[in-house]
A = this chain, B = another copy of it.
Amino acid sequence: MKKDLGVKQAVFPMPVLMVAAYDENGKPNVMNAAWGMISGMEKVSLFISEPHKTTKNIRKTKAFTVSIADVAHMEAADYVGIASGNDTEDKWERSGLHETKSAHVNAPVLEEFPVCIECELDEIIEGDNHAVIGKIVNVCAEESVLDENGNVDPSKLNALVFDNFQSGYYVVGEKVGTAWDAGIPLMK
């Protein structure tokens, strides 16, 4: 017997995404977004509202990056979710993060985080179902998080997990199975 809780944002786990873009003068800004997901083989959708400095920047530069935040940089990742580039002039400097310009799009690749999705702006959906949609042009990653086949090994990411129930940050624990494999017994 389940209990009614009303309207809640009850997806779990959520990622901790670092969304970064330049302004019109090439000054970097970055924000923390949990409400973002792959939305197609070459697409990522971010549910970030219009007033964010990052949304304004993306409208101007038509590009952004999405990095996966890790435990080692939780303080900076959380800070960029508290402070706003709209009213904190030195937000980028205070974050302590570093960037280099992407080789593929006009957006900053954050040095501290091991995996970065480089996107061109694909579409901004207006209205009630507002979404900022990027076309993935490339993903780049540190060698230290790759396995022997050159794929990202998630166990090396130390990625943060976000919970929208109690606003907690977590680590990812042990691997318990593999998709398209765990369910095979029920196929027979």
Determine if B173 and A168 form an interchain contact, defined as CB atoms under 8 angstroms apart. no
CB neighbors of B among A40-95 (8 A): 40-45, 47, 66, 68, 71, 74-83, 94-95
Determine if A138 and B6 form an interchain contact, defined as CB atoms under 8 angstroms apart. yes
**Copies of this chain:** 2
Determine if A168 and B178 form an interchain contact, defined as CB atoms under 8 angstroms apart. yes
Determine if B186 and A152 form an interchain contact, defined as CB atoms under 8 angstroms apart. no
Determine if B47 and A39 form an interchain contact, defined as CB atoms under 8 angstroms apart. yes
B82, B131, B140, B186: the one contacting A3 at CB < 8 Å is B140
Find the residue from A71, A95, A136, A179 having the highest chain B CB count within 10 A: A179
Who on chain B is nearest to A94 by CB? Answer: B186
Task: Decide: A2 near B140, CB < 8 A? Known: A10-B68, A68-B10, A165-B154.
Answer: yes
Task: Decide: A129 near B45, CB < 8 A? Known: A2-B140, A76-B186, A173-B173.
Answer: yes
Task: Decide: A176 near B172, CB < 8 A? Known: A7-B42, A136-B8, A183-B76.
Answer: no
Q: Which residues of chain B come closer than 8 Å to A174, judged between CB atoms?
A: 170-171, 173
- The 0/1 profile, CB within 8 Å of B marked 1, for residues 118-131 of chain A is 00001101001111
B5, B43, B177, B186: the one contacting A169 at CB < 8 Å is B177
Query: How far is B137's CA from A78's CA once the two chains are assembled, in angstroms?
Result: 30
Find the residue from A4, A10, A42 having the highest chain B CB count within 10 A: A10
Residue positions of A touching B, CB distance < 8 A: 1-15, 17, 32, 34-45, 47, 66, 68, 71, 74-83, 94-96, 103, 109, 114-117, 122-123, 125, 128-131, 133, 136-143, 146-147, 150-154, 157, 159-187
